[in-house]
Structure 1
């Protein structure tokens, strides 16, 4: 059955009670339509929370111009703010929805220990109305994704995902293409179809997942991911044919693709996004940079309709709220709002955030007043009941899991995905450089080389492999394994030519440069350095590409061959690194390294195949010489090899943080 036919054949269903939330904001954009007002609606939204249930460290420019160190966000603050917004919306006579743009999974010690179960528990207490299906929801397998989808009390949405052939998800009724809500005063009531709405206004929320999910996530089974634009238009057309004119897209595509969606699909009123971690708006006082404007309006291809785009950052640090007004014909004529960063009352002079660096009590009131006056910021108390659940049910096991102290740093070692963002300079992430150094160091240890038979020339890691900063203070094994490098990351060694390396870097860097692009693929390096310049056409130009041979930097020669180390995920061609898969399409000398029962184990490959599914999307499948795949889930085996390398590296270099690392990555923007 064609996708468009499947859409038309959908039955209308609903599975979650609505929660009221609200919005207020000075930022507004308008279509200019001056018609009698119809529906008013508020959208409260979050995305890319990545199981950051506790507050995360941050810094802010203080009233004296010097930085203050603090903590922001966390799910107890999210809940408090959502409830405040709900009360405000209700008081203003406005109905509202609370939406999640996907990627609740992965990124904290809580998740590493409790996986989908803690997300079921905590998110069910949040009052969400719907969530988009994110790519990291696949990180722990389809069976656990199915458990999550079946047990959350809100629908998980993806209009372009066909589950028919995948046994584990085919019968999960709560994983659906869209959800209908009927406006009942200041509340939303559940309806199965228009007939049950009894003349009330209906709002439809449909989801979109990444169309290239199979090339990003190895474990997608028999799911089929259809094209985002075509699926969106087919869904909108079907809903409009049923008389539904208020349509919201809840997406996990990234801001750049959301913009494309608005410009290529007619009929979407608002896109509530995720994936690119875009904290839309100006947050320079929080050292978080300035991103594209919140509530941007883009014209649809029909030249008449306009779509409002919003997204709310990452790690449960902020909440977005958009206020919508429609005319009596159901056309959007106003979209206004902003993201609000959720601040705490704890402020310190030093990044260590020790009690002796806490601001004086005489400064507390002045500081709080100053913070509350910052635009797009609100000091927000934690919800006490949710805090109690985290403290009593989950936190004791998390504390125990951190293990022994391996290092300490007086300053936060920052990680950003793209150089020049998040307060970084043209060299970008300091932490990524150290991690790539650790990979190079670990693989070139005599004991490891004796097992692999390979000397690594240089290493590369993608920014998205790294999930957190390394905060100031004592560093425990758990900080590395549970927060910074939580993925199963076997290390791969393969041979590439200089020309293939140059092509890889050009493609991957270029893909991160457009405004709003997903930057998790951006490459950081050790014993390899490059200078990339953004050209007028928006592409990257490599002005320097060298490797460190002994003590001397040498130009990479196009015809010469080199031993590259990276993670197996990237070596397979995932996340836009497809040039590496193409290099291995016919054959490869690659080996993957894991730890089995505390011993190194080597897995040679024959090739990496590109498998195309019925929708035309590709998955990259490594074919091992003597195994069907890596035994990462076997008890006693450890595939977090990048984390093990970083832990060993920190133990071997106790003075690491006192030494300045020479940058190996330079990105010069226009």
Structure 2
């Protein structure tokens, strides 16, 4: 898909650009880039998000493709490129339940992106499934294909690979006499380590490859260069100064919200940097770097003026957060705002460029509703079987109602009394199965909501066990931090009677004595690294990769020793994987191997020996 020639010599400076008060340079190009990244199959709105608008704490729906389509259409004027910086798929039921139909492709084609860059999660289900996604996006009439170009300069495959010929290193777009090159870059090591590309998929060095294709395009007379990267904001910033000839970097992967610090702080949303972040490239010329948050909650708008030599004269813009019109005073939507509060909210929205009340595009709503209506039906799909009642428990021996399948008269009750939740242990097995880089998996037992009975297992069973919208994160943690996390959790159980904080784990096992003081309740802590069969005493000064849900990683249930790693971008990897998907995929994988879910053996349980709290 190539942009048609436009009379750019007489095009007025784009509205919202910082150069709007300057005189256009003869033969200059004024370009608007509208972009998103990392929507992770979150095609509908993020419901009841907490924002502070005009000094009022409110809850409102944010984003979703029906609103994004409206916003893209609203800002699509002049010389425009519509870009997606990768990680379109995996993360919600709209992908895991519709891998054949791929509503993500349908929703993306309502925007009709010019270019899409491959992200690491595009490879989660292998190259054959990725080929199916690309074809659905680019050529399927059922998905309203509009010819989006797919780019990935540093991804190489054999000619026989399923994705061979379905993407290119770059694309060139024509605006009047001007050409704009868009080069795709994917994050190599993360894709190899955390996704499932085929063995013949090679990921070249990101910076070297970017420079190679910048030089190629420059030699062919293309002097406006955009990198469309799935490489993290931090890597984009570091790369900018190393490259000659780059003008714009539109990024993804790190889920970075960029913008004015004061504006977003007032709304209660921390930012990672300025929108745009303006640095200098290796030539000493300006390079503009942008990213637009995640999960379809924002659309970025970058307005750039280039001079006749193709260098950036100025760039400006911001992330747009498209809001619903359903403001409520509580997250359940039951408590209404006062008239004065609603006026303050609406006055603030009207005066603030970064937020706007956006009507949903009717056509997109109808197309999405077709899949939304099927989700409950698809939950009844049988995905495997269980050879035993997989009983839940919070604190061992507690007899929590969520483990009622294994009551007092059940033989499994003795196992639960001694070792805790079977279901939570299986959940952590599923986490480790889906997170390909992790050594250890941790989960709070309260996040596991029920048991799975013996017999056929459906998608609905998995939803009932893990009903929340939590995502998996990988954390680089020392052995000492892991032990401290166990102590945090156990202290919450003892001090606050918070039974749901009790820890479950895979590749981590320990003894528990709730009667001891904090710091000594977990003992004989042993660990296994990924792929190892033998256990070893946990090495306190060494680093392990721990996968967990984002609730406890951020300190939920008093898992406070995880917080330093979670808040350190160099130690946290946001996988974008819905934790419910981990259980569904794990059960399906077992079934494909002819296996069923089974009660773990004692040596695989996190709790090896348990001494309950003595009553006074």
For 2:195 and 2:153, locate their aligned partners in 1 and report how far apart those are by CA, in whole Å: 18
In structure 1, what is the equivalent of residue 525 of structure 2?
Answer: 562
Asked whether the 8 Å contact 2:241–2:282 carries over to 1, the reply is yes
| Match 2:281 to one of 288, 300, 308 | 300
The whole-number CA distance in structure 1 between the counterparts of 2:355 and 2:377 is: 34
- In structure 2, relative to structure 1, the CA distance for the partners of 1:253 and 1:29 (3 Å cut) is farther
Q: Is the 8 A contact 1:166 1:222 kept in 2?
A: no
Shift of 1:101: 0.9
User: What is the CA–CA distance in structure 2 between the aligned matches of 1:402 and 1:155, rounded to whole Å?
Assistant: 34
Q: For each residue in 1:599-628, what CA deviation from the matched residue of structure 2 results, as whole angstroms up to 9, or x when unmatched?
A: xxxxxxxxxxxxxxxxxxxxxxxxxxxxxx
- Residues 18 and 129 in structure 1, CA contact (< 8 A), matched pair in contact too: no
Q: Which residue is 1:665 aligned to?
A: none
Aligned to 1:264, the other structure's residue is in SS state coil
Q: 1:24 touches 1:321 (CA, 8 Å); kept in 2?
A: no
Distance (Å, rounded) in 2 between the aligned partners of 1:481 and 1:378 = 34
Query: Which of 95, 98, 107 is equivalent to 1:111?
Result: 95
8 Å contact kept, 2:31–2:79: yes
Provide the C-alpha distance between the structure 2 equivalents of 1:70 and 1:59, rounded to a whole number of angstroms. 7
Is 2:238 the partner of 1:260?
yes
Equivalent position to 1:44, from 10, 27, 34: 34
> TM-score when scaled to structure 2?
0.63
* 1:446 aligned residue (415, 418, 423): 415
Q: 1:66 to 1:485 in 2, by over 3 A?
A: closer
Equivalent residue number for residue 331 of structure 1: 311
Aligned to 1:154: 148
Q: Does 1:286 align with 2:267?
A: yes
What's the CA shift for 1:452? 12
Query: 1:227 and 2:205 equivalent?
Result: yes
Question: Which runs of 5 or more structure 1 residues have no equivalent in the other structure?
Answer: 1-14, 185-199, 404-432, 435-440, 467-473, 492-500, 510-522, 531-546, 572-577, 584-628, 642-670
Contact 2:56-2:344 at 8 Å conserved across structures = no
Corresponding residue for 2:352?
374
Matches within 5 A, 1:53-92: 53-57=43-47, 58-63=49-54, 65-86=55-76, 89=77
Change (3 A) 1:17 1:182: closer
* Cα separation, 1, equivalents of 2:342 and 2:96: 36
Aligned residue runs from structure 1 range 240-639, under 5 A: 240-281=218-259, 282=261, 283-302=264-283, 304-354=284-334, 357-359=335-337, 364=342, 367-391=345-369, 393-401=370-378, 446=415, 478=463, 481=466, 484=469, 505-506=477-478, 526-529=485-488, 549-551=512-514, 552=516, 562-564=525-527, 580=544, 632=589, 634=591
Q: Does residue 177 of structure 2 align to residue 177 of structure 1? A: no
Query: Is the contact made by 2:241 and 2:279 (CA closer than 8 Å) also made in structure 1?
Result: yes
Q: Give the corresponding residue for 1:101.
A: 85
Aligned partners of 2:488 and 2:313: how far apart in 1? 50
Superposition deviation, residue 286 in structure 1: 3.3
> 1:166: Cα distance to partner?
5.7
Length, aligned pairs only = 458
* Equivalent position SS for 1:231: helix
Whole-angstrom distance in 2 between the partners of 1:507 and 1:23: 54
Task: Deviation per CA, 1:558-579: give whole Å up to 9, x if none.
Answer: xx9633489999x9xxxxxx95
Task: Tell me how far apart the structure 2 counterparts of residues 640 and 373 of structure 1 sit (CA, whole Å).
Answer: 56
Q: 1:636 to 1:319 in 2, by over 3 A?
A: same
Question: 1:320–1:338: 8 Å Cα contact kept in structure 2?
Answer: yes
Distance 1:17 1:553, change over 3 A: farther
- The separation in 2 between residues aligned to 1:360 and 1:266, in whole angstroms, is 55
The C-alpha deviation readout for 1:568-594, integer Å capped at 9, x for no partner, is: 99x9xxxxxx9559x9xxxxxxxxxxx
Question: What is the aligned partner in structure 1 of residue 499 from structure 2?
Answer: none
Residue 35 to residue 120, structure 1, CA distance change in 2 (3 Å): closer
Counterpart-to-counterpart distance in 2, 1:44 and 1:631: 38
- Cα 1:286/1:35, change in 2 over 3 Å: same
Query: Structure 1 residues 326 and 28, CA, compared in 2 at 3 Å: closer, same or farther?
Result: closer
- Counterpart contact for 2:188–2:203, Cα < 8 Å: yes
Query: What does residue 209 of structure 1 align with?
Result: 186
Flag the 1:35–1:123 CA change in 2: closer, same or farther, 3 A: closer
CA contact (8 A) 1:402 1:479 kept: no
Give, in whole Å, the separation in 2 of the partners of 1:379 and 1:19. 33
Given that 1:79 and 1:126 are in contact with CA atoms closer than 8 Å, whether structure 2 keeps it comes out as yes
Matches of 2:596 and 2:242 in 1, distance apart?
A: 42
Secondary structure (helix, strand or coil) at the match of 2:258 reads: coil
Residue 413 (structure 1) aligns with = none
1:508/1:368 CA distance change after superposition, 3 Å: farther
1:121 corresponds, among 106, 110, 117, to: 106
In the alignment, the residues of structure 2 paired with residue 446 and residue 84 of structure 1 have an alpha-carbon distance, to the nearest angstrom, of: 61
Q: Which runs of 5+ in 2 are unaligned?
A: 7-12, 138-146, 381-393, 396-401, 404-411, 436-440, 442-448, 451-459, 490-509, 535-541, 547-585, 599-616
User: What SS does the aligned partner of 1:394 have?
Assistant: helix
Q: 1:501-536: CA deviations, max 9, x gaps?
A: 9xx525999xxxxxxxxxxxxx89852459xxxxxx
2:4 and 2:39 map into 1 onto residues whose CA distance is 21
Residue 139 of structure 1, CA deviation: 1.7
Residue 304 of structure 2 aligns to a residue whose secondary structure is strand
Provide the aligned C-alpha RMSD in A: 4.9
Return the alpha-carbon distance in structure 2 between the equivalents of residues 346 and 524 of structure 1: 44
Q: Secondary structure at the match of 2:328?
A: coil
TM, length-normalised to structure 1:
0.59
Report the secondary structure of 1:397's partner residue.
helix
